[in-house]
Structure 1
């Protein structure tokens, strides 16, 4: 198939794929609606219809396809073969679109002076040859040119970018035309790589806000889910709550009813040399879909019946740090409690959870002010904090959301906005139940947190 024809679209075919997955193909100014609900189905139908016209005319046709991911000039023949058609004068994409090999760079002649095959310049006088030493033939060493190690070349092969999987680029890849990912897909892959990083030694995240209902528990659960899904096992969500913490209510229960008090009672064994890695399963609740563990408080007991001291926090943290690489701590609302303050002493990365409601946002800001004055280490945690702003109310306007987000940009290292999602309102939370845009936002939040561990 000849794909070198001019891409000015003289054939008169233009197609548009809408965000809802429907499309329209315009042939000689006549629109043909395509009633699809997914972009990939629309692309296949555009190719099929264009190929049908190409068969009737017995010639490949240009079709200019426009969708949210970009505009693509294509050539389609009667057999539904598709090629990318570079605009006239524009550089063609990298292989497989152009099979012509790149011109080989001319090897440099290491010998000083005129190049081989050229006459010496008038001002040049050949240097007299030196007499060879009688022993030079025996003493001379053969200098082998440097070679590329097999290990390095193999690593370069492994680090080649994977082709696109999303949008029109991904559809073209699935048709057999390998395309590089777009900017949005590259950004998502970069966030996934940051989240998948494993650090030397355990890391602790504290999710805080002095106001109840500000989103601390959902933030704890979904950050733990993202780190576990993309980074592998070894993630613990800990309900560090003196009162009736709800982390256990919003996550799956294991085959037992153990809480942090049971773990505290067994801490001597869990920290001993006789303990095995699987022993900790007696005290945590594994989340089978999201692949992290939960250490529950006792939500049905009064706070007076389950007091946890600062020393208890130290003990439980020692156990958690032995069995887990990442600890995400859900916190209570009393910032004066020794349990809360000792959590801060163990924290490597602070996360401020807030909704778009003014009282939640102000409580988080006041907490940052208090930490900035507590001590030097707490001040650094506050300065390096990540804010997660969840739109808990679907009726919140864009201006209201931006006001909170922009305000936190002045207070913390980074701020991530989480869109409203009905799957976050009540019941058990699962990352897979969220809308794609919400999943992407939580991935961004976890990646921002992970970047705060660099150098820690």
Structure 2
């Protein structure tokens, strides 16, 4: 009897970055369920199904290599994997195929992040008027994801009116920070000078936050510091405060190319996000453009989530008019509320951040 015909697909070999966690589901934990899942599309990790993704990915290629038309690799785990080791070729089960799809999607997202180029530095504003929704962790880990894939040249800047928690959540204990940089900004002309005000991260990102008390930040301060940072870094990620009507926030909006809005699965956090979008759209121009291209990162902090509340939030976010909504799973490392290290994130969290980062750099690249 001839061997059953299996659909053709493009084979991909996953690669492991030294700073990015991998393997949300390991081979050891795969369970064969007897089902098949053809490789035809790879939806972005964590994207809500109500939001239309970019065009479906039907071709997958290893970065730098031509796609190779091949038959699907046989199962390697579970009962199917055992049969394969005995010489009986059989397609992977649903769990194993899902892991392969996720690995392939991650390769594509990281390639987009790595290969994106612009003719000037770009900036990403992380904002929500509601406090305690994860703005600082998102700014740090999004910047860390970008820096780890690109090999650096990413700076995280605090743009809140008063000192925030950016330096507290970042790695290291720098002696100088934002307040000192604002005072000396007119004398900084080299990368070496600027480095003295940063906290280098293991992700290769650099952080500029407050190391102590400082005067309230103004629009002029944000513009001056941003100009210096943009002379030495390709990407600037801004961690904002809770006052969207402040001078510092206005300066951040004026220098931003992309907007990321973190929300928790709660009504107040989502409504504050929508209020921010509405205000920016009413302002028109640069502000409205940011709102139209904005993405929402929907985080879970471990508190109980009532199904009816979640369904209502789903509907509200679906009608918010944002580019995409990414759902970030609960991550114990973020929930610790201490120092954050990219390599300690749950692999599932990293996958969502990579998908969001790829979406951001793609949207900004269109503007150039």
* Structure with bigger RCO (C-alpha 8 Å, 6+ apart): 2
Q: Give SS of 1:455's match.
A: helix
The match for 2:271 is 362
Distance in 2, Cα, partners of 1:405 & 1:452 = 24
* Counterpart pick for 1:278 among 192, 207, 232: 192
The match for 2:15 is none
**Residues 397, 433 of structure 1: alpha-carbon distance in 2 compared, 3 angstrom cutoff:** farther
Higher alpha-carbon Rg: 1
The match for 1:110 is none
Contact kept, 8 Å, 1:198 with 1:231, in 2: the verdict is no
Distance in 2, Cα, partners of 1:334 & 1:328 = 18
* Counterpart pick for 1:421 among 326, 331, 334: 331
TM-score when normalising by structure 2:
0.74
Contact kept, 8 Å, 2:171 with 2:341, in 1: the verdict is no
Contact kept, 8 Å, 2:282 with 2:288, in 1: the verdict is yes
How far is 1:242 from its partner?
1.5
Q: Give SS of 1:329's match.
A: strand
The match for 2:56 is none
How far is 1:67 from its partner?
6.1
Residue 338 of structure 2 is aligned to residue 452 of structure 1: no
Q: How does 1:436-451 map to 2 (within 5 A)?
A: 436-451=347-362
How far is 1:363 from its partner?
0.6
* Deviation readout 1:274-325 (Å, 9 max, x if unpaired): x3x233211100012x210000124x42xxx512222111110111100110
Q: Give SS of 1:393's match.
A: coil
Residue 243 of structure 2 is aligned to residue 331 of structure 1: no
Q: How does 1:161-176 map to 2 (within 5 A)?
A: 168=75
**Residues 161, 349 of structure 1: alpha-carbon distance in 2 compared, 3 angstrom cutoff:** farther
The match for 1:287 is 201
Q: Give SS of 2:302's match.
A: coil
TM-score when normalising by structure 1:
0.60
Residue 199 of structure 2 is aligned to residue 260 of structure 1: no
User: Greater share of strand residues, 1 or 2?
Assistant: 1
Distance in 1, Cα, partners of 2:74 & 2:314 = 29
* Deviation readout 1:85-138 (Å, 9 max, x if unpaired): xxxxxxxxxxxxxxxxxxxxxxxxxxxxxxxxxxxxxxxxxxxxxxxxxxxxxx
* Counterpart pick for 2:131 among 191, 212, 219: 212
Alpha-carbon RMSD across the aligned residues, in angstroms, is: 3.5
How far is 1:405 from its partner?
4.0
Contact kept, 8 Å, 1:350 with 1:381, in 2: the verdict is yes
How far is 1:367 from its partner?
0.7
**Residues 68, 194 of structure 1: alpha-carbon distance in 2 compared, 3 angstrom cutoff:** farther
Distance in 1, Cα, partners of 2:35 & 2:345 = 22
How far is 1:190 from its partner?
1.7
List gaps (5 residues or longer) in structure 2. 6-24, 39-62
Q: Give SS of 2:170's match.
A: coil
List gaps (5 residues or longer) in structure 1. 9-37, 47-64, 72-155
Matched residue pairs, number? Answer: 309
**Residues 163, 201 of structure 1: alpha-carbon distance in 2 compared, 3 angstrom cutoff:** farther
User: Greater share of helix residues, 1 or 2?
Assistant: 2
